[in-house]
Amino acid sequence: MEEFFALQVHLKDNVATVFASPEKGSCVRVDDSNGASRKIEIKDDIPYGHKIALTEIAEREKIFKYGEVIGRALRNIEPGEHVHVHNVASLRGRGDLAAEIAGEDRHDI
């Protein structure tokens, strides 16, 4: 069976990037920055270079990649689910929200 692999760039990350195009139900080997590996069954078809969740991520929880915040979950995300624009919002450059929350801490969106 073909082995698909993904990289977790930083130990703090709750997502990994998949460098293959596996179909839903496939098993992906996730290598972390310490050289350790684990396997995750994926719950969606994943295009090359896209991300999967490594843990349960609750709605509004922050998404971490490179050990840094890259956005916030728009809904609950299960391990192995595709993590992308359909379930992650950016916290920056949000002119649509800026009007509503003028003066408030942007990170509380």
Partner 1 sequence: MTFNGYRRADGSAGSRNLVGVIPTVVCANDVARAIVGQVQGCVGFFHHQGCCQLPPDLERVTDTLLNLGKSPNLGAVLLVSLGCEGTDTDRLYRELQAFGKPVEIVRIQESGGTSKAIAAGTDAAQKLLLEISGRQRVPCDLSDVILAIKCGGSDATSGMASNCVIGYVADKMVDLGATVVFGETTEFIGAEHILAKRAIDENVAEDIFRIVREMEHRAESLGCDMRKGQPTPGNIAGGLSTIEEKSLGAIMKSGTRPIRGVLVYPESATGRKGLWIKDSPGREPEILTGMAATGAQCMLFSTGRGAPQGFPSMPVIKICGNLHTYERMANDMDINAGTVILGQKSVRDVGEEVFALMLEVLNGRQTKNEALGYFGSIDIHTLGPVI
Residues that bind partner 1 (CB under 8 A): 7, 9, 17, 19, 47-51, 63, 65-66, 68-71, 83-85, 88-99
Neighbours of 29 (CB within 10 A): 14
Rounded to a whole number of angstroms, the minimum distance from the CB of residue 108 to partner 1 is: 16
Q: Name the minimum Å distance from CB 40 to partner 1.
A: 17
78 and 56 Cβ atoms separated by less than 8 Å: yes
State which residue, 43 or 50, has the beta carbon closest to partner 1.
50
Give the nearest distance from C-beta 27 to partner 1 in angstroms: 19
Nearer to partner 1, 58 or 96 (CB): 96
| Nearer of residues 36 and 98 to partner 1, judged by Cβ | 98
Tokens of 21: 């195009």
Query: Smallest distance, Å, CB 84 to partner 1?
Result: 5
d(CA 81, CA 7): 15
What backbone phi and psi angles, to 5 degrees, belong to 38?
Answer: -145, 165
Question: Phi-psi bin for 60: left (phi > 0), alpha (psi -120 to 50), beta?
Answer: left
Token digits of residue 53: 């969740």
Closer CB to partner 1, 7 or 11, in the complex: 7
